[in-house]
Amino acid sequence: MAKVSQRIRYAARYATSWLGLRARPSFLIIGAQKAGTTSLFHYLVQHPQIVPPLMKEVCFFSHPHRRRRGNAFYLAHFPLRNTMRSGQMTFEASPRYLYRADSAALIREFDPAMKLIVLVREPVARAFSHWNSFRDIWKTNPNYRNAKVDIDEWRTLESLLRPNGQMASFESLIEQEFPFVDSADAPQEPSLIRRGLYWRQLQPYLQSFPRQQLLVIETEELNRNAHVCLEQVCRFIDVDPFPPGLPQIAKYNERPYINQIEPSLCERLQSFYRPHNQALAEFLGHALEWNAVDQAAAGSGDER
């Protein structure tokens, strides 16, 4: 009975979307994964002019099996227009969009005026956080499968990350990825290293959108000065400042780490990322405070 009710709700959402009754998103949070997108999402939905989507991560522009369902499927994840007041807007946050190079052109095709927000985190810490996330998911739910990911893609990912039913070590996955990190025809996974190559991942977006439609925020700055960053976001998406007392700042997806990165591997990764980080810093016009790996990579995890 529950499944029947769920299907009826989905059908109704799709029908209202097909009839043009659903709102279109005004901006997207496109990444990076494990860089604070959940925190930013929860902060923004507390704004009186921002209406949350029905799902944080729709993953429409990054997953072909979802995109094949068409724009009506995508828009079915947003609120009805007649429930929104004048001046309100909606959005979604799918961190996979940054990593998937073809997402930029697809988003532009959908709406060339779309505003895009990118969170960037010290990349070694981001990679280790990413690995810990998978480790904890499978530890608590051995049969977990991400329904947003095509079943064949998920099986490939699971075979890489969990050979013989055991979570592969962080070090082994890094060593597996390093040989093809600069290859144009490399497999999508594992991607612990490449998801931290922010300057490279921004290129398709800079080719598809004007610079003024892209806002880049450092995760470390969001953690230190959330209200200052949110003022910047409000100006970028053209809404009023948050009312006094909002948003309520909290930690999301926080988890302890049971181990640390091997110091030699940490140094190797930092050395690898250094020129990529420098290119990003030059683009942003200021230095990045990424000389030392943050606390997450050192062994205690705040994965906001």
**What total number of domains does the chain contain?**
1
pLDDT value of residue 229: 98
pLDDT value of residue 154: 81
Q: Which residue has the higher pLDDT, 155 or 211?
A: 211
pLDDT value of residue 256: 81
Contact 131, 164 (CB under 8 A): no
Q: Report yes or no on 151 lying in a domain.
A: yes
Q: Report yes or no on 7 lying in a domain.
A: no
Q: Which residue has the higher pLDDT, 120 or 184?
A: 120
The per-residue pLDDT for range 294-304, each reduced to its tens digit, is 444 444 455 55
The per-residue pLDDT for range 123-144, each reduced to its tens digit, is 999 999 999 998 888 877 777 7
Q: Report yes or no on 19 lying in a domain.
A: yes
pLDDT value of residue 291: 60
CB atoms within 10 A of CB 150: 13
242-262 CB burial, b ≥16 within 10 A, e <16: beeeebeeeeebeeebeeebe
Q: Report yes or no on 265 lying in a domain.
A: yes
Contact 94, 28 (CB under 8 A): yes
Q: Is the pLDDT of residue 17 over 90?
A: yes
Q: Among residues of the chain, what percentage have pLDDT more than 70?
A: 94
Q: Report yes or no on 5 lying in a domain.
A: no
pLDDT value of residue 69: 94
Q: Which residue has the higher pLDDT, 135 or 221?
A: 221
Q: Is the pLDDT of residue 2 over 80?
A: no
Over residues 149-166, mean pLDDT: 81
Q: Report yes or no on 304 lying in a domain.
A: no
89-93 sheet: strands from edge to edge: 50-51, 89-93, 27-31, 115-120, 214-218
Over residues 257-282, mean pLDDT: 95
Domain residues for the domain of 190 are 13-298
Contact 242, 235 (CB under 8 A): no
Q: Is the pLDDT of residue 95 over 60?
A: yes
Q: Is the pLDDT of residue 107 over 60?
A: yes
- What would the DSSP string read from start to end of the chain? -HHHHHHHHHHHHHHHHHTT-BPPPSEEEEE-TTSSHHHHHHHHTTSTTEEPPSSS---TTT-HHHHTT-HHHHHTTS-BGGGS-TT-EEEEE-THHHH-TTHHHHHHHH-TT-EEEEEE--HHHHHHHHHHHHHHHHHH-TT---TTS-HHHHHHHHHHHSGGGSPPPHHHHHHHHGGGTT-TT--S---TTGGG-HHHHHHHHHHHS-GGGEEEEEHHHHHH-HHHHHHHHHHHHT-PPPPTT-SPP---S----SS---HHHHHHHHHHHHHHHHHHHHHHTS--S-SS--HHHHT-----
Question: What pLDDT band is residue 110 in, cutting at 50, 70 and 90?
Answer: very high
pLDDT value of residue 184: 85
Q: Report yes or no on 95 lying in a domain.
A: yes
Q: Which residue has the higher pLDDT, 146 or 214?
A: 214
Q: Report yes or no on 8 lying in a domain.
A: no
What is the domain-level CATH number for residue 203?
Answer: 3.40.50.300
